[in-house]
Amino acid sequence: MKTVQYTIKDELGIHARPAGMLVREAAKFKASIKIAGPNKEVDAKRIMGVMSMGVKKGDTVKLTIEGVDEAEAAAALQKFLQDNL
């Protein structure tokens, strides 16, 4: 199991466009990927779940990745978060 923590720097937090991009990135991997914000944890491959988290600028999210390609997924998602949020 791999974990990735990241503090959101985007002024709007995780809104519709980056949420969709995050879900598409997570869907590339076979591993189970959960994302936890300050209030709840959801499946990172489900757009409605990610958007319902209500993550704002300054909130820290934690990705928990478990499966056959967890190392690759963790690296790719860490880069995605840094580049987009």
Active site residues: 15
**Structure-token pair, residue 33:** 């990927």
Task: For the sheet with 2-7, list strands across it.
Answer: 2-7, 60-66, 32-36, 41-43
Cβ burial, residue 17 (10 Å; 0-12/13-18/19+): exposed
